[in-house]
A and B are shown apart, each in its own frame.
Chain A
């Protein structure tokens, strides 16, 4: 699986958009980009995933660059409850189910 690089931490003002970057320059053609978050002392929560097109759901938007070497997770209106560690994971799809490999992630602090 391709390796990802994320900033260690970020701050965001409540109500503003939070833009979390992720670099995955060695991503392969069949690998998806997944985003999860972990609120303190809880299990990770799935947010969104994509292959090459931008994706949006009720939680967030995922913007993937045309060369797929980087992506940005966007929380459009961050709230205090969005304070968490956000993980960007690259994983191949298809075949047998496999585990997710977590890096250090980005600790997002949403401030009032």
Chain B
């Protein structure tokens, strides 16, 4: 089945620094990937849609200059949290897949802690 690899699994960074999270589709090509954020005891919230070779589409309220998304190839999308602050601490999850008819595959998530 489809496998999505997300790296790193967890990261701790200092306030003001930037953190890059990678999402790779291992055995399929993904023209579109999705980035979600999940705060403790809450559900997943879509942040942005990553499109290969073009600009990402951000959900309302998500700062595109703070959460930089690059989807330079059919198997890799990256999310960079720039100038991270403690309120950015969260669980970030990416997904990709065969579309609505086949279900989506999610990465294992990245736990970001900003201190």
Q: Footprint of B on A, CB under 8 Å? A: 32, 34, 36, 38, 41-46, 49, 87, 91-94, 96-105
B100 and A46 contacting across the interface, CB-CB below 8 Å: no
Which residue of the partner chain, among A41, A93, A97, A102, contacts B44 with CB atoms under 8 Å? Answer: A102
B113 is an interface residue with CB less than 8 A from chain A: no
Q: Within the complex, which residue of B49, B99, B103, B109 is in contact with A41, where a contact is CB–CB below 8 Å?
A: B109
Q: Taking A43-B93, A44-B44 as contacts, is the C-beta distance between A100 and B104 under 8 angstroms?
A: yes
Q: Are B103 and A46 in contact (CB under 8 A)?
A: yes
Contact of B100 among A41, A97, A105 (CB under 8 A): A97
Bound-state CA distance A38–B6 (Å) is 16
For the complex, give the distance between the alpha carbons of A49 and B46 in Å.
21
**A94, B34: Cα distance in complex, Å:** 17
- In Å, the complex CA distance between A83 and B90 comes to 22
A102-B43, A102-B44 known; A97-B32 Cβ under 8 A: yes
Task: Give the chain A neighbours of B4 by CB distance below 8 A.
Answer: 43
Task: Determine whether the beta carbon of A46 is less than 8 Å from that of B105.
Answer: yes
Contact partner, B107, options A43, A96, A98, Cβ 8 Å: A43
A103→B109 contact, CB < 8 A:
no
Assembled-state Cα–Cα distance A87/B45 (Å): 13
User: In the complex, A34→B95 CA distance in Å?
Assistant: 15
A42-B109, A43-B107 known; 8 new pairs, CB 8 Å cut-off, are A32-B101, A43-B106, A44-B95, A93-B99, A99-B46, A99-B95, A100-B104, A102-B45
